[in-house]
Structure 1
């Protein structure tokens, strides 16, 4: 998309006057009469053939002013004693307007008549059937607008572009112009009566195949907006969700003069073939996927999952993959892993690295992008976390390749009594806003069916797809060591939600029944809780039978897991599908876990089995372990169930689903003509 910036030479080559009748609608609600009547007079003087003034709930002064302007030739009134809303007033005015070129402008004078004239000339000269004023494109300018409203506008733009696919920089500028047939094509489908009217009009016009051209304008905020942030912003979001649903039910159309490309010699090869043949040849090339993920030697935050997923992509004939990973002092910034390349381009808590990642993704190297995300991936503070989670929709809005996001956790899964005391209402609202942003990727996947249902219920925009976590096939599973000693394994990064204190107290009771039992606590401190493992080891490292191993390297995993009799998961909460449980399935190990809703969702509802005990109870945990050790048949059954579940959905099968999503999203992006900024 290009901005409408006519040069002097272009203007000289065009008609100096419009050749079709112009109608403009001016919606009026509580604006001062001298402001909007002055606007009407300037429009008539500048050559508009018809000005339709739509007054909502006018007071006596507004009525008297309307009577005065109605005496001018070319002025029509559409008066309502009730508040119709901006969209309702515009629908009423456009329904009665007679011009060949229609449009509207806000009554507050923020848009100059000269700027509106450029929009109308864009349509009249055949540059595009729809011209939308933009306060952000090209050399546009905003004067007098508060920082809050600018921020809200930027956020809404990301949401609206993600929901509608319309490649514009400013949906809500109160200046538009379009050919009559555009309004005829969309009028019956427009339901909006509020401030989202502009968005619905552009979305439906785009869906019907009409090209939309943005025209940079200077916009001067009069400071008298009747937009109420507390009520109108939520209403805008609800409307956006409804508009998205409408678009899904609206078939694409290519009307005369729309954005379709007719067959012509420029699209034909010299040998008589067309470019479709070349496209078919291109389809034989593998899709180059940029996988944004943490990756070893970084530890935690799905690094191992990212590595397994990269391997799975690299093993396919129809994809090649480059991992765009977090930087680390332990590895070079560019590393050849044999079957794929790792480029370490981003860091936590860094705005600069976010832009560095965007620059890499915009380099035209990649045919698709997949973000492998944890809610706290990009930062230790809320601001950087929010910035990182805004990257997928930002990429979707600015790249012409599909963007798929895999979201591994949700705030809603955390039990309320285990949310950190520092996580207040504002932080929770921010986390949900960030989740909503992530859902504006071309496709978003979640790793549990329940997460999909939660998102569908609580978030108005986004249609998540359940793609199972996938298991890491490392060893033959289901063959549990049944000979003593009873070897219990706690695996993974150690933080406050993993109750090691209760586990050690339970293990003391287990040792009374099974004296040679061993407890292996394998893993380092959680990245968000540095030093936590060291503190635990200082307290419990001398306990009989207890061993702290620290972080387990890749080549040590088989030994640690293979020698385990059972895996303990003493988690008070879990915000996503448990990678530890997936490993237990991969190795065919029985699991004993704390009973809570989050844990069931994170474990057995993904396939597999576990013995559940009361959370926080050392006696319940000890009894569960001893009962399982004494019931060898039950021990073997859980192991075999988990091994079978591990075979059911491998990482290769999970990757199959990702490739299908990327391919479908790529087709949709191509159909929409890309997301040209």
Structure 2
């Protein structure tokens, strides 16, 4: 099978580029894939396709730009040139731009493939029905929210024209089936990027590192986490370091710089900036706890799967989507109320003051992560593509 993937791809900073890297790494190792065609965004640096494992040929076509109005035409042209047997879209609603028209035009591409009769699967990482538009940084205006919801519903109807729409949570399947009355939706787990050997249970010498990882400023904010750790320090006298690993959300540029200035008097507060792929393992392995300081969610959490793969204890907000994900996939953590510093401090304290409990959570999360390696996830996609292809042949 000659498989094309429409996606952002490293060294891109556009969302879901890291997920695409691991999809590519594991798709290319399946014997049923003869060539991978990456239909990617344009970047100044060369695409990262140097893998140590043997695999199929990879062809890279940089054919779209973030916020471009020409994406639908340029990607369609690349598809005509490369002639794939099947196309996988690695999507969320703001994948092709943070400007409404540019984003919407890009999301028409699955329909274009459907019209061209190319077997098409859309991996949809979030659905608008489960996004808090205000918290996620889209808009606070009630009228604008209604407009967004109307546009989102219309675009979802078009995306659902694909042969199959894959989502990462059972809840999303039910929501979409009930609202849109369709039957071409399947839950395929997010998967875990890498399954390293289980790390040593003993943490490195020095302060216990309380870490959070991601893009911050919208529904992911770090002020409460900082203040919660300060509370724990005062109460317990523990040597704790706060590690903010990542960057600003594109919608809130300058957020972390403002936080750093506001809390500059707080000792052992580290802002790592953008974390290169080669440094991800070290950041996780050095941490005692991974905190998710979210006030809402927009879908399944890639960071949770990473935390599990590195056998880390996690502190999670008591929010529907994340809690559902934990229950569905077997992850365990301490919960806190999203707006409460005291609740967050209590959740972290339960882990950093009890090594046996921390190790129990680490073991449970490593077990959950290893149940869904990316090799297994990519095989599911290949199986689904073959079902679609066989069905079209019979017709």
What's the TM-score once normalised by structure 1's chain length? 0.54
Q: CA deviation at 1:599?
A: 2.4
Tell me the equivalent position of 2:304: 581
Residue in 1 aligned with 2:36? 321
Give, in angstroms, the shift of residue 455 of structure 1. Answer: 1.0
Paired residues of 1:470 and 1:654 also in contact (CA < 8 A): yes
The residue that corresponds to 1:452 in the other structure is 173
Q: Which residue pairs with 1:501 in the alignment?
A: 223
CA distance in 2, matches of 1:416, 1:369: 30
* Aligned residue in 1 for 2:157: 436
The count of aligned residue pairs is 383
Deviations 1:188-236 (A, max 9, x none): xxxxxxxxxxxxxxxxxxxxxxxxxxxxxxxxxxxxxxxxxxxxxxxxx
Match of 1:388 among 96, 106, 125: 106
TM alignment of 1:207-218, pairs within 5 A = none
Cα displacement (A) at 1:462: 4.7
Residue 363 of structure 1 pairs with residue 86 of structure 2: no
Aligned to 1:353: 71
Q: Which residue of 2 aligns with 1:551?
A: 274
Match of 1:405 among 122, 131, 135: 122
309, 313, 337: which one pairs with 2:50?
337
Aligned-partner Cα distance in 1 for 2:363–2:13? 30
Which of these residues, 211, 218, 222, is aligned with residue 489 of structure 1?
211
The answer to whether 1:301 aligns with 2:19 is: no
Q: Do the aligned residues in 2 keep the contact of 1:446 with 1:465 (CA within 8 Å)? A: yes
Which residue number in structure 2 is paired with residue 622 of structure 1?
Answer: 345
Q: Residues 480 and 491 from structure 1, CA distance in 2 versus in 1: closer, same or farther, beyond 3 angstroms?
A: farther
Which sections of structure 1, spanning at least 5 residues, go unmatched?
1-286, 673-677
**Which whole-Å CA distance do the structure 1 matches of 2:342 and 2:295 have between them?**
16
Is the aligned partner of 1:613 residue 2:326? no
Contact 1:378 1:385 (8 Å CA) reproduced: yes
**Structure 1 position 534, deviation (Å):** 2.6
Alignment of 1:525-604 (within 5 A): 525-604=248-327
- Give structure 1 regions of 4+ aligned residues with deviation exceeding 4 angstroms: none
CA distance in 1, matches of 2:146, 2:6: 30
Q: Which residue of 1 aligns with 2:361?
A: 638
How far did residue 671 of structure 1 move?
A: 3.1
Cα RMSD of the aligned pairs, angstroms, is 1.9
Deviation, 1:526, is 1.8
Contact 1:519–1:546 (8 Å) recurs in 2:
yes
CA distance in 1, matches of 2:299, 2:336: 20
- Match for residue 421 of structure 1? 140
Aligned counterparts of 1:576 and 1:459: Cα–Cα separation in 2? 19
**Cα offset, 1:307, TM superposition:** 0.3
Secondary structure of 2:275 counterpart: coil
Query: Shift of the alpha carbon at 1:602?
Result: 4.4
For the Cα contact (< 8 Å) 2:210–2:290, is it kept in 1? yes
* Distance in 2, Cα, partners of 1:598 & 1:539: 31
**Are the counterparts in 2 of residues 401 and 669 from structure 1 also a CA contact under 8 Å?**
no
Partner Cα distance (1:415, 1:382) in 2: 17
Match of 1:510 in 2: 232
In the TM superposition, what are the counterparts of 1:661-676 in structure 2 within 5 Å?
Answer: 661-672=384-395
Q: Which has the higher contact order (CA 8 A, sep 6+)?
A: 2
The CA deviation at 1:424 is 1.9
Q: Tell me the TM-score normalised to structure 2 length.
A: 0.91
8 Å CA contact 2:14–2:95 kept in 1: the answer is: no
Q: Secondary structure at the match of 1:644?
A: helix
Matches within 5 A, 1:55-204: none
CA contact (8 A) 1:375 1:385 kept: yes
1:660 aligned to 2:388? no
Q: List per-residue Cα deviations over 1:451-476 (Å, max 9, x = no partner).
A: 11111111123521011111012532
> SS where residue 523 of structure 1 aligns?
strand
1:466 corresponds to which of 187, 196, 199 = 187
Give the SS at the match of 1:549: strand
The alpha-carbon distance between structure 1 residues 570 and 604, as it changes in their structure 2 partners (threshold 3 A), is: farther
